[in-house]
Structure 1
Amino acid sequence: MDLRLVSYFVATIDHGSVTAAAKALYIAQPSLSQAIRSLERQLGVQLFDRSGRRLTLTADGRLFAGPARQILADVERAKDKVRAVRELAAGRLEIAVLSTLSADPLPELTSRLHRQHPDILVTALDPGSSSGVVSQVRQGRAELGLTEFPVKSDTLRTRELWDQELALVLPPELAAGLPDPVPLAAVAEIPLVLETSGSGSRAAIDESVDWSIDYVAVECAHRQAIWELVMHGAGATFLPRHIAETELRDVVVRSTVPQIRQTVGFVFRPGPLSPAATAFLDIAEVMRQERSL
């Protein structure tokens, strides 16, 4: 059904005549009369009684008047919602996030987004691994993926943010006597607290220093528990330096020789992104520039 014809029908009712409605709509009276007849043909009913001097609704016209107004109201509400999303007054964004990045940089990125666009709903999904992030983005469950690079995918687009150092974080008693920076060979003598084998962040650590890991004292699936274990002296762990220096207390943060570094960035499907996703990437670019200074 042509919505334009429905709006003409409602305008004719509201203005009381075809002449008045045509004037309000800035169209010729014959054109409006033809449009009403076209709508009647589409519906298979007569909407107006034209036998008298005044145009009046038929029984079918009265029955259609309510639904016609509802149709137009629904269309306007839909337009308002689309307009709100386009103008970032509303909307939602699903992001698949590797667990190690949910502490940094996700909170700051999301906080900056909400300060600029407070009505956008951000949903952070935890797929458990970098490959899981890629899978959720590829399948459309998330529009953006925040993960460690390199990413194995020929179908997704990528955008790097920055390199981050994975530092060795130790209780003071374990750091005593160790050189600064710590040779990776010395890690074999240190009790470690690591995420459960097979997790995304553990895989990244294993790939870099597997040859030097000999003494795993605790395996744990919960990131916050690992932090607490390290702060209470159960062992050392590897964390992005920024997290270690801002989130943990009463610990010693040491670089290693050679340094362990990871690249962090986004993955997303080809094609246009939603306004919310575009705004999120713009904020990430500002943060990237700030961290590079």
Structure 2
Amino acid sequence: MDLRLVSYFVAVIDHGGVTKAAQALFIAQPSLSQAIRSLERQLGVELFDRSGRRLTLTADGQSFSGPARQILADVERARSKVHEVRDLDTGRLNIAVLSTLSADPLPELTSRLHQSHPGILLSVLDPGSSSGVASRVRKGEAELGLTDLPVKSDTLQTRELWDQEIALVLPPDLAEGLPDPVPLEALKEIPLVLESSGSGSRASIDEAVDRAIGYVAVECAHRQAIWELVMHGGGATFLPRQIAESELRNVVVRSMVPQIRRTVGLVFRPGPLSPAATAFLTAAEAMRQERSPHPT
């Protein structure tokens, strides 16, 4: 059966006649009338009663109207599925990421995404702060945001992933004699190497440690330079424990008392997400379940 003819049949019903349906479909009225006749010949029944001034559905036409709509709906769903597969093969996802999350968990999330959908191009934006991440998503410049939670926004949806411990990372000589874990008051005697004020990672620790900090030896805008300074004895810094233990060498990683933690999550606008964004959320959910503590 010609699906085009089925769609013409439904259009005649919805527009109340051949004339208006032909105008809506941008085809000539005789051509539409001929198409309806062709459909009737294929089905072996009359779909419309033409005895009056207006076309009306026959009993056979009424019986066919429901299946006709179902046929068109099924075809549209199938077409959408094909488009989704195509988009996952060649799609693009813009994501705004807080700089301190670009080393963990972004690489693992990206790896998981590309294992299932290697054709998706991931474009990573660095807005510099949690508020910047939210702003990029709110403006539509990024479809997803990977950031600290909570985010101050009434227009965005959030999905928590997991908590990260923010640990104190020290050269071995600065760690000598310090209790383990390190109390906040001990920070007054420790030279610190921190990102410049207002940066994303600085904001994640300021609230907890500002009043306890006594000596900032270096402020730096470059994360890698901070790591190198700490590894070469220039001072201590704060990093997510997983990054400190996997990326830095010849350092001591200590918890704080009280422990400093932050919640990592995704932000996005309400409404349907693209297939690429949905695939990224699926990868994030699988990673969240693996990182969640399991009962023993």
Query: Common fold, TM-score beyond 0.5?
Result: yes
Provide the residue aligned with 2:98 in structure 1. 98
Does the aligned pair in 1 maintain the 2:84–2:275 contact within 8 Å? no
Give the distance between the partners of 2:165 and 2:245, measured in 1 at CA: 12
The TM-score normalised by the length of structure 1 is 0.72
Q: CA deviation at 1:85?
A: 5.2
Deviations 1:172-213 (A, max 9, x none): 000011010000100111000000011111122111110111
The TM-score normalised by the length of structure 2 is 0.72
- Could you list the runs of 5+ residues in structure 2 that have no partner in the other structure? 6-29, 36-78
Does the aligned pair in 2 maintain the 1:188–1:213 contact within 8 Å? yes
Give the distance between the partners of 2:116 and 2:178, measured in 1 at CA: 46
Q: CA deviation at 1:34?
A: 4.9
Does the aligned pair in 1 maintain the 2:156–2:268 contact within 8 Å? yes
Q: When the two structures are aligned, how many residues end up with a matched partner?
A: 223
Give the distance between the partners of 1:201 and 1:80, measured in 2 at CA: 41
Identity rate, percent: 80
User: What SS class does the counterpart of residue 212 from structure 1 fall into?
Assistant: coil
- Could you list the runs of 5+ residues in structure 1 that have no partner in the other structure? 6-29, 36-78
Give the distance between the partners of 2:31 and 2:153, measured in 1 at CA: 57
Give the distance between the partners of 1:115 and 1:141, measured in 2 at CA: 26
Give the distance between the partners of 1:127 and 1:209, measured in 2 at CA: 24
1:155 is aligned to 2:152: no
Give the distance between the partners of 1:130 and 1:111, measured in 2 at CA: 23
Runs of 4+ in 1 over 4 A off after TM superposition: 30-35, 79-82, 84-87
Does the aligned pair in 2 maintain the 1:84–1:91 contact within 8 Å? no
Provide the residue aligned with 2:10 in structure 1. none
Q: CA deviation at 1:215?
A: 0.4
Provide the residue aligned with 1:58 in structure 2. none
Please show how residues 97-176 of structure 1 align to structure 2 within 5 Å. Answer: 97-176=97-176
Provide the residue aligned with 2:271 in structure 1. 271
Q: CA deviation at 1:101?
A: 0.4
User: What SS class does the counterpart of residue 194 from structure 1 fall into?
Assistant: strand
Are the structure 2 counterparts of residues 158 and 140 from structure 1 closer, same or farther at C-alpha, using a change threshold of 3 Å? Answer: same
Q: CA deviation at 1:31?
A: 5.9
Q: CA deviation at 1:88?
A: 1.4
User: What SS class does the counterpart of residue 137 from structure 1 fall into?
Assistant: helix
Q: CA deviation at 1:273?
A: 0.4
Give the distance between the partners of 1:96 and 1:32, measured in 2 at CA: 51
Provide the residue aligned with 2:178 in structure 1. 178
Provide the residue aligned with 2:18 in structure 1. none
Q: CA deviation at 1:97?
A: 0.3
Are the structure 2 counterparts of residues 112 and 179 from structure 1 closer, same or farther at C-alpha, using a change threshold of 3 Å? Answer: same
Give the distance between the partners of 2:129 and 2:85, measured in 1 at CA: 31
Are the structure 2 counterparts of residues 172 and 196 from structure 1 closer, same or farther at C-alpha, using a change threshold of 3 Å? Answer: same
Deviations 1:66-101 (A, max 9, x none): xxxxxxxxxxxxx89972655611100000000000
Q: Which amino acid aligns with 2:206?
A: D
